[in-house]
Amino acid sequence: MSTLQFPVPERTTTSTGNIVIDGPLPAMPTGRALVPARAYTGAEEFALEQDRIFSSGWVWAGYEHWVGEVGSVHPVTIGGKPLLLVHGDDGQIRVFHNSCRHRGMALTEDPIVVQGRIQCAYHCWSFKLDGTLAAAPYYTRERRSKLDPETAERLSLLLVASHTWAGMIFIDLSATDTDPQACAESFAAHLEPLLSRWSHIDFSRLHLAGEKKFDVDANWKLIVENFLDFYHLPFVHPQVGPVTVSLDVDDIALHPDIMGGSYPRGAAGKAEKTSKSLPWLGDVPADRLERQDIFCLFPNALVFLEADWFQVIGYHPVAPNRTVEYMSIFVDSSAAGDDYSETRAQLCEVLWEVNEQDMPMLHRLQIGRNSPGSDSTNLVSHWDQVTAVFQDRVATKAGYR
């Protein structure tokens, strides 16, 4: 059981005036990993985390633009469970278990766009976009078999609690109430500290500037730990700016599932990403114009916010040593036109490069987890408290302590 209190209080400030939180790490390294090395390599541990972490609580499932038009059906696997993201003819995005109610066959393995119905290939049962069973040929062994409304409702696709926010789709496989209003209230309560912090941003104005898929040969936890590791910036990403900029970062842990950091002057101190300025994402206060916020929305959404762009890395764990990332860059809708096309492309290329630079680091981190020495790693309190908060959350939910 974790003993951390949220938001995690400030422990001290550095000589640069930045905040280091009072996280799980003592002043001196202990030589004892908070998460065992086997959790990064073992099939048994991977399955355990799929059940206890990815099948419990709010989890990133995908992007709204994956199902951008009515009839779009996009399969994903979360917590080891096949699911369907579906854009209904009422405009609502729903998530269903990808399992026909007759024999349990997956309805599709590939993204598709359908005209009003999703059909199972096995016996041609078909379902409306709201999940209701629409037809089951010869259901009563009669040529003109008809379904009564009660049967059609009872044999509907199984709905999953879901909610859309900031261009993303989140699900909660453990929730029993799938009513949209209940889901909205649950999600808002879960993310409240971040929603309050970012209340000045109008996320309804987001426009997709670009998306790129990364197949990463590393455990999902290493991806998060690397994202929360501000220490590596001047060494792995020297193009972002001088060392003094990398040091100018505050630790933040708002909630057990919201941890990260903030660069108070990051947008001003780091190298320019585009030759032309982009419009702000809403009515941004003057004291927020230079700030960069970086957060992990536990377990699998990594978000990065500046005043004029928003980055998301959502990912799906595939195996103990393999994770698929989906990185999307968003700008304000007023920058969607041709006059900003070059600027959007510049921004995306700069951010893709940063993520590409992390790939060999993640590969080597994964190799190192096969060493017994990985059970005696030494996180340091000056830099790694936020990483330790993440590891504490993993260890608590998975039961590693």
229-275, pLDDT tens digit by residue?
A: 999 998 999 888 777 777 889 999 999 999 999 998 876 555 577 88
8 A C-beta contact, residue 76 and residue 61: yes
Greater confidence, 362 or 377?
362
Please state the rounded mean pLDDT for residues 179-202: 97
Q: How far apart are CA 112 and CA 67, in angstroms?
A: 9
Q: Pairing state of beta strands 322-332 and 10-13?
A: unpaired
Please state the rounded mean pLDDT for residues 330-359: 96
Q: How many CB atoms lie within 10 A of CB 353?
A: 12
Using CB atoms within 10 Å of the CB of residue 322, give its burial: 0 to 12 exposed, 13 to 18 middle, 19+ buried. Answer: middle
Instruction: Report, in angstroms and rounded to the nearest whole number, the Rg of the chain calculated over CA atoms.
Output: 23
Q: Considering the entire predicted model, what is its pTM?
A: 0.95
Quote the pLDDT of residue 98.
Answer: 99
8 A C-beta contact, residue 343 and residue 274: yes
Residue 127 has pLDDT above 60, yes or no: yes
Q: Quick one: which of 109, 110, 147, 142 has its CA closest to 125?
A: 147
Paired tokens of 55 = 């099948």
Q: How far apart are CA 218 and CA 345, in angstroms?
A: 28
Domain covering 58-173 assigned CATH 2.102.10.10 in the classification: yes
pLDDT band at 11 (very low <50, low <70, confident <90, very high): confident
CATH 3.90.380.10 domain residues, the chain: 10-51+198-398
With a CB cutoff of 8 Å and minimum separation 6, the contacts of 29 are 378, 379, 380, 381
Backbone angle region of 213, left / alpha / beta, with phi > 0 → left and psi within -120 to 50 → alpha: beta
CATH 2.102.10.10 domain residues, the chain: 58-173
Please state the rounded mean pLDDT for residues 313-336: 98
Q: How many residues would you count in the chain?
A: 401
Paired tokens of 224 = 């998060």
Give how far the C-alpha of residue 207 lies from the chain's centroid of Cα atoms, to the nearest Å. Answer: 18
With a CB cutoff of 8 Å and minimum separation 6, the contacts of 350 are 273, 274
Quote the pLDDT of residue 1.
Answer: 62
Backbone angle region of 31, left / alpha / beta, with phi > 0 → left and psi within -120 to 50 → alpha: left
Please state the rounded mean pLDDT for residues 115-136: 96
Q: Quick one: which of 196, 251, 232, 248 has its CA closest to 4?
A: 251
CATH, domain range 10-51+198-398: 3.90.380.10
